[in-house]
Amino acid sequence: MYGASAHAFCKLEKCYARPPLIVDDHEIVRKGVRMLFPRNDSFEVCGEAQNGMDAIRMVLELSPDVVILDLSMPGMNGLETAAKMRLIAPSIRIVFFSAHEIPSTALWVGADAFVSKSSAPQDLVLTVNRVLQLGENPQAQQKSSSAHAGS
């Protein structure tokens, strides 16, 4: 549907192929995150899911480049959801967004980033931009990973 170099929207001077999917069991959180990514001619959220099963279905249907994913949800939690997403869409970028501390297992399921719900709103937007930029530039990702390994 989209070519490797196709860009359908831009925000904060970065361009992406597909808009993000928001997954959280609390509607107020989904609506608040959606407000951080306002709908206009150049950018909008592709969808919202309230649980892991809906999120998996939407990843298959919508093929988002990035998923903003809560860790703590009833039924299938965020870690299980992320692991299944990696199986069906290995290149998807996953940003955990949670009120809880990040468990070390989040890295095992392939999380690209974590943002605390107590962070400033722009931190989530900047993190989404960063993981998408790194996804398009594997050399930058290797440099970023090396820098974090030495920290």
Residue 133 confidence (pLDDT) above 90? no
pLDDT at 143 over 90: no
Question: pLDDT value at position 134?
Answer: 77
Structure tokens belonging to residue 51: 């649980």
Euclidean distance between CA atoms 141 and 79, whole angstroms: 22
Which one is predicted more confidently, 53 or 134? 53
60-89 residue pLDDT tens: 999 999 999 999 999 999 999 999 999 999
How would you list the strands of the sheet with 93-98, edge to edge? 47-49, 21-23, 66-69, 93-98, 113-116
b vs e for 6-26, b when ≥16 Cβ sit within 10 Å of the residue's Cβ?
Answer: eeebebeeebbbbbbbbbbbe
67 near 55, Cβ under 8 Å?
A: yes
Please give the backbone phi and psi of residue 134, each rounded to the nearest 5 degrees, phi first: -65, -35
| pLDDT above 90: percentage of residues in the chain | 54
SS (HEC) of 26-80: CHHHHHHHHHHCCCECCECCCEEECCHHHHHHHHHHHCCCEEEECCCCCCCCHHH
Under the banding of pLDDT at 50, 70 and 90, the label for residue 149 is very low
* Confidence class for position 11, pLDDT limits 50, 70, 90: very low
